[in-house]
Amino acid sequence: MAASTLEDRSAPTGPRPALLVGIAGLAGLGGMIFGYDQGSVGDSQSGFTAAFGLDSFEVGVVTGMVALLAMGGSLAASPLSEAHGRRAANVLAAALSVVGGVGMALAPNVGVLITARALIGFSVGLIAAAVPQYISEMAPARARGRMVATYQLAITVGIFVSGLIGIVELADTADGWRVILGVIAVPALVFGVAMLVMPNTPRWLVAKGRVDEAREILRRTEGEPECDATLEGIVEETKDLEDSKWGDLVRPRLRPALTVGLVLAASQQLTLINGIIYYGTSIFRDLGFDTAREAEVASLVGIYLVNMLATFIALPLVDRFGRRPLLLLGTGGICISFVGAVVASIEIADRKAAGVPVGSAGWMLVASVSFFITCFAASWGPVVWVMISEIFPTRERSKGIGLCTSVNWFFAWLVALVTPAVIGWHPAVYFAVGLALMIGTFVWVLFRVPETKGRPLEEIQAIWADRAKT
C-alpha cells in the first residue's frame, strides 16, 4: 500500500502521534496472537485430549507443533520481508493464523488439528521475527525501546486473555477447546486488515529504490527536518544490506555476537517457562484443589496475571539497572523457586502415597511457581528480545534475529515435547533438571554476557571485535 493511504501531505511537519499509536497497536495485536497461542494450549489441552483420546506423547506433539513450525516461520521471515516487504510478511502471517484458527475450531480428527496447529506455528514464527522488525524500522529512535517492550508486554497480555477465556466454563464443556483455540482467528483478521492499511517501512522502501515514499513515511513518524538525517542514514546502511548472506553470521567477527545471541535464545526456553505456561493448569489440577475451576483460577492469577504484572515492573529497569543485573537476579530467583518446587513436589508425592491431603505442600508449589514466573517476567522475558535485537550489526541484524528466534522456538518445542512425560514420571525431577540448567546459565551469564545498556550500537560491536581477537 502506498504512502498515500496515510494522512495528507499538506499537514504540519511535526511527528504524527496517530501513526505511532497505530504502530504500537500493531505490535500489541501481533504480540497478543503470539501470547494467546502460548496460553490457550494449556487451557484447551484436557478438551482435545479427551476428544481424540490422546496419550501423553501425542499431547506433546499437538502442543509442541506450533513451536516446531515457528522455527521455519522465523527463518522464512528474513527472505520474505527482504523480497516482498515487512508488511507482506505480517499480512501472510495474519492470513495463516485465520486459516489455522478456523481449522483448529473445526478439526474432525487429530490429523487436521496437528495440520492447523502447524499453520498457526508458521504464522506465529513469522510474527515473532517480522513484527519486532517492522516496529523497529518504523519507530523513531527515541521511541524504539518502548515499542519493542510493548511487544513483549502484549505477549503476556495475550497469555492472560487466553487464561481468562479458559475459565469461563469453556474448558469444561465438550467442545469448549475448539472455541478457545479457534478464537485466535479474530485478532488475526483484525491484524491482517490493519497491516494492509499501514505503510511499508522506510528501510525496505529505500532498498527498493522508493526513496520519496520512504521520506514521506519518515516525515510523518519523525517530522521535519529530522527525517532528512534519518533518511540519509538509511540510504547509507541499505547500500550494505544488499550484500548480507546467512553465511556471514558465522564469520569470525560475528561469532561472539552469534554465540551470545543463540545461548540467550536457548536459555530463555531452558528456564522451562513454557512448561509452566503450557502445563501449569494441569500441574495445579493435580494439587488437590477441590474443583478444576479452582485450579484454573489459581493458574490464571499465579501464572498468567503475575507474568503480565511483573513485565510492567521490568520495563523501566532494563535501561536503568542494565541487562546483566536483571538476568543474574532473575536466574538466581529462578534457582530459589526451583528448590522450593522440588521440595514441595517430593512432599506432595509422599502425602499422596500415604493417602492424606497435600495441604500446605500444594500451596508451597503454587508459591514457588508464582515466584518463578515473577523472576522470568522481570528478566528473561523482556531482556532476551532486547539483547537479540541490539547485538548484531545493522547489516546482519535481520538474519541474526531470525536465526536466534528460530533457535528459541526449537527449545520451546523441545520443552513442550518432554514436559508431560517428565512431569508424569515425577514433577520433582522436572524442577531439579530446571535447577541444574539455571545454575549453569547463571555462571555463563556472569562470565560471557556483556552489559549493553546505554551503549551506542557501534560500541557494542567493539565488544565483539575485542572478543574475536582473544
Note the residues at the interface with ligand BGC (CB under 6 A): 38, 152, 155-156, 159, 268, 273-274, 277, 307, 381, 408, 412
Contacts of 370 (CB under 8 A, 6+ apart): 302, 303, 306
Smallest distance from ligand BGC to CB 445, Å: 17
What's the min distance (Å) between Cβ of 60 and ligand BGC?
16
CB of 268 to ligand BGC, least distance (A): 6
User: For residue 131, what is its C-alpha cell?
Assistant: 513484527
Closest to ligand BGC by CB, 48 or 410: 410
Question: How many other C-beta atoms are found inside a 10 Å radius of the C-beta of residue 382?
Answer: 26
Q: Map grid coordinates 521535519 to a residue.
A: 224
Please say which residue, 221 or 311, places its beta carbon nearer to ligand BGC: 311
Nearer to ligand BGC (CB atom), residue 345 or residue 408: 408
Residue closest to ligand BGC, measured at CB: 38
- Which residue number, 40 or 200, has a Cβ lying nearer to ligand BGC? 40
**Cβ at position 74, least distance to ligand BGC in Å:** 11
Instruction: Kindly compute the dihedral angle of the four CA atoms of residues 214, 219, 221, 226, in this order, to the nearest 10 degrees.
Output: 110
Look up residue 345 and give its amino acid.
Answer: S
Q: Smallest gap, in angstroms, from Cβ of residue 385 to ligand BGC?
A: 6
Q: Compute the half-sphere exposure of residue 310: CA atoms within 13 Å on the CB side of its CA.
A: 23
Contact of 113 with 153, CB cutoff 8 Å? no
Closest distance between ligand BGC and the C-beta of residue 277, in Å?
A: 5
Nearer residue to ligand BGC within complex by CB, 117 or 220: 117
Residues in CB range of 201: below 8 A, 6 or more apart: 85, 86, 87, 134, 137, 138, 217
Report the residue number, 199 or 333, with the smaller CB distance to ligand BGC: 333
Angle among Cα 386, 281, 354 to the nearest 5 degrees reads 130
Q: Which of 34, 92, 78, 387 is nearest to 245 (CA)?
A: 78
Smallest gap from residue 159 Cβ to ligand BGC (A) = 6
Q: Counting every residue, how long is the chain?
A: 470
Residue 241 or 264 with smaller CB distance to ligand BGC: 264
Minimum separation from the CB atom of position 380 to ligand BGC (A): 7
- Answer yes or no: are the C-beta atoms of 30 and 89 closer than 8 Å: no
Tell me the closest approach of the beta carbon of residue 280 to ligand BGC, in angstroms. Answer: 11
Closer to ligand BGC by CB, 231 or 298: give it. 298
Work out how close the CB of 281 gets to ligand BGC at its nearest, in angstroms, rounded to a whole number: 14
Name the residue nearer to ligand BGC (CB basis): 194 or 273. 273
Please, which residue, 44 or 221, has the CB nearer to ligand BGC? Answer: 44
- In the bound state with ligand BGC, the residue whose beta carbon lies nearer, of 45 and 244, is 45
Distance of CA 112 to the CA centre of its chain: 25
Q: CB of 300 within 8 A of CB of 138? A: no
**Closest to ligand BGC by CB, 307 or 461:** 307
